[in-house]
Chain A
Amino acid sequence: MATELGSAPVPPPGPEDHVTGPEEAPLAIEYADFECPFCAALSAKLASARLRLVFRHFPSRSSHPRAWAAACASEAAAAQGRFWEMHHLLFSDQGRLEDPHLWERARELGLDLERFERDRRTETARARVKRDFESGIRAGVVTTPTVFAGGRMHSGRIEIGALDGTGSSEMS
């Protein structure tokens, strides 16, 4: 059965999603790439926003050679319960995403290094990232970051006010 990539609505948050923020806060579903500078900039803004944030992978293989490796590393950290910590560490230093830099971060988080190294190369991690990417393609994501919030798709230079309903300032 070939992969189905035709149009479909963005999937609601599920048990396998990476979710943070208060349950009652406005929902924002983000598609992002750890090597994308605009994603890092948005991530810094999102850190202090009052949102129920869902993070989904949308790594661009052609424009960001280390995006897939970084995404799989975050999944390997997630397997040890440290997804968001790894998410922050990846976005905080995008110039350093080679293997030794990923190990450094795993060490910093106190992860079981052997397990981390094994997990990030598994088909499970790859399939997990791919599932997010495909749901993004089906929902019409064409660039990162893209955030679904308030019944709209936001992309480009995203202002928090456009996501949490406190303002409508947005540039694309």
Chain B
Amino acid sequence: MIEAGQPAPEFTLRREDGSEFTRADLEGSTTVLVFYPFAFSRVCTDQLNLYDDVLDELEAKGATLYGVSCDAPYSQTAFREKLGVRIEQLSDFEPKGAVCRAFGAYHEGGFPQRALVIVGPDGVVKWSYEAPSPAELPGANLIFDGLAAGGD
């Protein structure tokens, strides 16, 4: 798992509209990447619902939160719309899991580990967290702890 102080790796994810989201998109503001195992699964549903409820508070802290999974962008959009959440989705579909691996957040079972990574405006990781198991949902409080730990 990537750790605080390490620069974010070079990567290319796909936004829901198919356009690229790369390391350059991290620069200039604080980014929270939420790696989650599967669209439509139970814990991931609870997780995105929970985080969506604190999106305004995250925004007030200057942080933008994204969901990252190996699902295709179309599936991610369907998932987001089904949940009725605002969290923008980023796809690590092809080559599958390449970005998850680059962040050290790939589960050997073939899906993203449930993990959180906060990257500062300078492109350096401020904080990271890997859930003890994919079944465990990290509380939203941890994200705020992580933002505070980063020093601003």
Contacts and interface: CB of A to CB of B under 8 A. Distances in A.
B20 interface: no
Contacts, number: 59
Residue from A2, A5, A139 with most neighbouring chain B CB atoms (10 Å): A5
A60 B141 contact: no
Interface stretch (A100-108, A119-127, A140-148): A140-148
Interface residues of A, number: 20
B145 A6 contact: yes
Contacts of B54: 5, 137
B84 interface: yes
A159 to B, nearest CB: 20
B42 to A, nearest CB: 10
A166 interface: no
B2 interface: no
A88 interface: no
B137 A142 contact: yes
Contacts of B84: 62-63, 65
B39 to A, nearest CB: 15
Interface in A49-75: 60-63, 65
A5 B146 CA distance: 11
Contacts of B140: 5, 137, 142
A3 interface: yes
Interface string B65-109: 000000000000000000111000000000000000000000000
B141 A7 contact: yes
A137 B139 contact: yes
A7 B54 CA distance: 14
Interface string A1-42: 011111110000000000000000000000000000000000
Please name the 4 residue pairs, one residue from A and one from B, whose CB atoms are nearest each other, closest first.
A140-B139, A6-B144, A5-B144, A2-B60
